[in-house]
Chain A
Amino acid sequence: DTGVSQDPRHKITKRGQNVTFRCDPISEHNRLYWYRQTLGQGPEFLTYFQNEAQLEKSRLLSDRFSAERPKGSFSTLEIQRTEQGDSAMYLCASSLAWGSRNEQYFGPGTRLTVT
């Protein structure tokens, strides 16, 4: 399978704990995106990388959230001191950087539940 993969698929954590999610993009894609989706809403942009550089961050990405893509391949999204409002589906997507219009391919998501 050469699609976008995410790990874990589900995470249940207690409020105040830290969690980390991993995303492996399609191998030749050099852009990687993180989105968050809550019930009844569409995906909301969080941040994106081109290679290892984080080029844009949403104001939704509070200082408790940090994302990295250290070698320009996989990425991690960490949430520190989780809150119940962080419960959501976290989606990763990747795309090519050739030209300015390349559709993003999404992974299956990581569903986070904060109790």
Chain B
Amino acid sequence: DQQVKQNSPSLSVQEGRISILNCDYTNSMFDYFLWYKKYPAEGPTFLISISSIKDKNEDGRFTVFLNKSAKHLSLHIVPSQPGDSAVYFCAASTSGTYKYIFGTGTRLKVLA
């Protein structure tokens, strides 16, 4: 049972435009969410996180939005740059546990 779902396996965006990556979850006990970026032959790199008490968190070009009623979160990258081309994973966890449940990833390609 896939508790965290990323339904778009890939996304292409022009440089300078907005990239929107989506993630859905099924477990209502999840209260902490993260986005990681992964380049080939490297481990995932932490990007940004959000607690369930918030609906938005921003860090530079990256903003994460959380819609708890829809069990949906999204990552916005503005403006997109070619160096953003990577696989993006969303992850979730619940209070009292430290393991992350990851989605299957979305491959973002930013075209110059």
Contact = CB atoms under 8 A, between A and B. Distances in A.
Contacts of B99: 33, 45, 48, 56, 58
B104 A42 contact: yes
Main secondary structure of the interface of A (DSSP, over half): loop
A2 interface: no
A95 interface: yes
Interface string A87-115: 00001010100001101111111000000
A104 B104 contact: no
A16 interface: no
A83 B82 CA distance: 39
Interface residues of A, number: 24
B95 A100 contact: yes
A31 interface: yes
A30 to B, nearest CB: 11
A103 B46 contact: yes
B22 interface: no
Chain B contact patch, size range: 20 to 34
Interface in A33-56: 33, 40-45, 48, 56
B75 interface: no
A4 interface: yes
Nearest to A46: B99
B43 A108 contact: yes
Query: Which are the 4 A-B pairs with shortest beta-carbon distances?
Result: A42-B102, A106-B43, A45-B99, A103-B46
16 contacts: A31-B98, A33-B98, A33-B99, A40-B104, A41-B105, A43-B102, A45-B100, A48-B98, A56-B99, A95-B98, A100-B95, A104-B46, A106-B36, A107-B43, A108-B41, A108-B43
Interface of A: 4, 31, 33, 40-45, 48, 56, 58, 91, 93, 95, 100-101, 103-109
